[in-house]
Chain A
């Protein structure tokens, strides 16, 4: 599904990713944990194609294709999805207009017929209901006036609509209340399948007891310094990151 080899990336001339190697097979859920500033969000942006992140070395292959050669929108259309650590507010663009435009762009790319307004609304209402989002929220401007947790749910709604084959969830659990965490986890789990893979970035073991990962990695100072099974998350929760050194050591 996804193969990251010796990935180095810089932001504003500063090297943040210093040789990442990671292979994610179809159907697998990988979790990435790691200290603040270790490069987790940077990795998610590099994978989703944000401008300003320069790959200086290495490669990323997604479903046999060179992911790094694609524009952000092409990656999304090919099935890469990023749930943002900080979802963006877009005044003046309604959630419905935004998502219908996005969904139809992706469907077009896949050779599927576009949905008309009625078909689209039926679909979004059903998906929103599962995430406990009301009509008012889906009508409003994208994330404008949404609480932190509502923004996260909105991102998961977008994921549910776009049905990506590879989703990166960047701290989707932060800001969610206990009930919302459960709803979001259910939403994510309902998308789990043998063909779909996920990369879950989180600071807390709690999310991983809902979305149970196949592998857990520690990203520290731009490198994956340790990998293990789901029990690694518990160990990290108990011991912290001290054993992985300090920025100077990296």
Chain B
């Protein structure tokens, strides 16, 4: 608990210097966060939901945010459509106005750095922050011995204690934002901690695409603890992709809480290829009739790295659909965790819920812990889930080699083919192409082979 004692000092020292300190709303939000962290703490494997992911590595990391940012503006930024997006850039967790570029936004759309918003109007900022639901330690309707605790509560609290950095996107009623919004986190320092808050509020009938990048440009053993709130109002569509490609020494913990109203759609894709330990917790509540969500993920871990994909899809209302496809490749002594729960509440008749989780194990020491769960309380529903873990198909490998393709290239082709299905889940063409390219890049680094696909050219 030494870390917590130090954190108390840091919290007390840093708080007065945070933007909006002294404004009632923000002070309270931060105090609540700090209190929640004190009560829930850093999750341990004893907590349901953290059984397979051990945060012992956090012991050696400062939990308080970095106070400095590199002045460097000569940073190559990732982009799903270079020059054609609105972007906010954060270097070592701190908003960097010089690297950011927000074009002319349609009426009804705002895109701000949280720090700017707080500084210009702490009351508005507090109001916006409170609009978003906090992730719950939701274990469904079965009340366990400790229902209120666990999940990511302590980490969300920690994020709240130091609320300052982040991004806020609001899209007004009926507006379609043609250009994607990109939120880019660049790790440039050897270490450092950040607790950004990302808030996306899409009003009724609006439509927007958001790409989130987490990359290292010189960065090392950094710790990112990201909390995202997403609201998709009636009939609106949000396509949200996250590309987590940090250094192999980074720690990355994220929790996304989304509410989806009637006839609205939330599509999220999460690529996890960086970090010594990376976990994303996604909670989607389908609150209105006819809401739908697609949650998909691809990950790759090797060495002794660890990736965790945890999701909770909560069918609250009738006629909602959810589709989740998560696939990953594990090599070396890498380890992956998939926890996917679908809850269908008593009112959620005519639910269509589908979940698929597949892992490809490339070594004898690769490991996957998969825990799919269906909790169904309605009777007229269609729900399915499937989980597989296996090696590369020997027959396919021989077929490729029998045509002259060297064994390592054949393996790279089959790994790419395995992950191809997940990229295919992405509805937006630009996001899909970018995801495919990033997956190929990662496979290239894993196998040393770059496969030159010709599919696109055939279209001509």
Residues of A participating in the B interface, judged by any CB pair closer than 8 Å: 48-51, 71-73, 75-77, 81-82, 84, 87-94, 96-103, 105-106, 109, 117-118, 120-121, 135, 138-139, 141-142, 158, 162
With a cutoff of 8 Å between Cβ atoms, the chain A residues found around residue B407 in the complex are 71, 73
Known: A88-B396, A92-B417, A101-B413. A77 touches B404 (CB 8 A): yes
With a cutoff of 8 Å between Cβ atoms, the chain A residues found around residue B405 in the complex are 73, 98, 101-102, 105
Chain B: interface residue total (CB-CB under 8 A): 30
**B328, chain A: closest CB distance, angstroms:** 15
**Inter-subunit contact A101/B417 (CB<8 Å):** no
Most A-side CB within 10 Å, residue of B393, B401, B410, B451: B401
**A150, chain B: closest CB distance, angstroms:** 16
Name B458's closest neighbour in chain A (CB-CB). A139
**Inter-subunit contact B455/A94 (CB<8 Å):** yes
Q: What CA separation (Å) do A98 and B399 show in the bound complex?
A: 10
Name A161's closest neighbour in chain B (CB-CB). B403
**Closest A-B pairs by Cβ, 5 of them:** A92-B417, A76-B404, A102-B403, A88-B399, A72-B401
Q: Mark B394-419, 1 if CB is under 8 A from A, else 0.
A: 11101111111111011001101110
**B327, chain A: closest CB distance, angstroms:** 11
Give me 19 other A-B pairs in contact (C-beta within 8 A), A49-B401, A84-B402 excluded: A77-B404, A81-B402, A88-B396, A90-B400, A92-B417, A92-B420, A94-B453, A96-B455, A99-B403, A101-B413, A102-B405, A105-B405, A118-B457, A121-B454, A121-B457, A138-B458, A139-B455, A139-B458, A158-B403
With a cutoff of 8 Å between Cβ atoms, the chain B residues found around residue A117 in the complex are 452, 454, 457
Q: What CA separation (Å) do A82 and B395 show in the bound complex?
A: 14
**Inter-subunit contact B396/A76 (CB<8 Å):** no
Q: What are 13 of the A-B contact pairs (CB < 8 Å)?
A: A72-B401, A73-B405, A73-B410, A88-B398, A90-B414, A92-B417, A93-B416, A94-B458, A97-B455, A100-B454, A101-B405, A106-B403, A117-B454
**Inter-subunit contact B395/A88 (CB<8 Å):** yes
Name A104's closest neighbour in chain B (CB-CB). B452
With a cutoff of 8 Å between Cβ atoms, the chain B residues found around residue A72 in the complex are 398, 401-402
**A120, chain B: closest CB distance, angstroms:** 7
> Is residue B421 within 8 Å, beta carbon to beta carbon, of the partner chain?
yes
**B224, chain A: closest CB distance, angstroms:** 32
With a cutoff of 8 Å between Cβ atoms, the chain A residues found around residue B453 in the complex are 94, 97
**B435, chain A: closest CB distance, angstroms:** 14
Most A-side CB within 10 Å, residue of B396, B405, B454: B454
**Inter-subunit contact A50/B403 (CB<8 Å):** no
**Inter-subunit contact B399/A90 (CB<8 Å):** yes
With a cutoff of 8 Å between Cβ atoms, the chain A residues found around residue B395 in the complex are 88
Q: What CA separation (Å) do A120 and B454 show in the bound complex?
A: 9
Name B416's closest neighbour in chain A (CB-CB). A92
**Inter-subunit contact B404/A105 (CB<8 Å):** yes
Q: What CA separation (Å) do A170 and B301 show in the bound complex?
A: 40
**Inter-subunit contact B409/A121 (CB<8 Å):** no
With a cutoff of 8 Å between Cβ atoms, the chain B residues found around residue A81 in the complex are 402
With a cutoff of 8 Å between Cβ atoms, the chain A residues found around residue B454 in the complex are 94, 96-97, 100, 117, 120-121
Most B-side CB within 10 Å, residue of A96, A101, A105, A141: A101
**Inter-subunit contact A90/B417 (CB<8 Å):** yes
**Inter-subunit contact A49/B402 (CB<8 Å):** yes
Known: A73-B401, A102-B403. A90 touches B396 (CB 8 A): yes
**Inter-subunit contact A76/B458 (CB<8 Å):** no
Q: When the two chains form the complex, which single residue of A50, A51, A121 contacts B458, counting CB atoms closer than 8 Å?
A: A121
Q: What CA separation (Å) do A109 and B402 show in the bound complex?
A: 14
With a cutoff of 8 Å between Cβ atoms, the chain A residues found around residue B420 in the complex are 92
**A151, chain B: closest CB distance, angstroms:** 11
**A18, chain B: closest CB distance, angstroms:** 24
**B420, chain A: closest CB distance, angstroms:** 4
**Inter-subunit contact A93/B413 (CB<8 Å):** yes
With a cutoff of 8 Å between Cβ atoms, the chain A residues found around residue B409 in the complex are 101, 105
**Inter-subunit contact A71/B401 (CB<8 Å):** yes
With a cutoff of 8 Å between Cβ atoms, the chain B residues found around residue A135 in the complex are 458
**Inter-subunit contact A48/B452 (CB<8 Å):** no
Name B459's closest neighbour in chain A (CB-CB). A139
With a cutoff of 8 Å between Cβ atoms, the chain B residues found around residue A109 in the complex are 404
Q: What CA separation (Å) do A5 and B436 show in the bound complex?
A: 49
**A86, chain B: closest CB distance, angstroms:** 9
With a cutoff of 8 Å between Cβ atoms, the chain A residues found around residue B416 in the complex are 92-93
Q: What CA separation (Å) do A93 and B453 show in the bound complex?
A: 9
**B22, chain A: closest CB distance, angstroms:** 57
Q: When the two chains form the complex, which single residue of A76, A90, A101 contacts B452, counting CB atoms closer than 8 Å?
A: A101
**Inter-subunit contact A98/B403 (CB<8 Å):** yes
With a cutoff of 8 Å between Cβ atoms, the chain B residues found around residue A51 in the complex are 394, 398
**Inter-subunit contact A93/B417 (CB<8 Å):** yes
**Inter-subunit contact B403/A162 (CB<8 Å):** yes
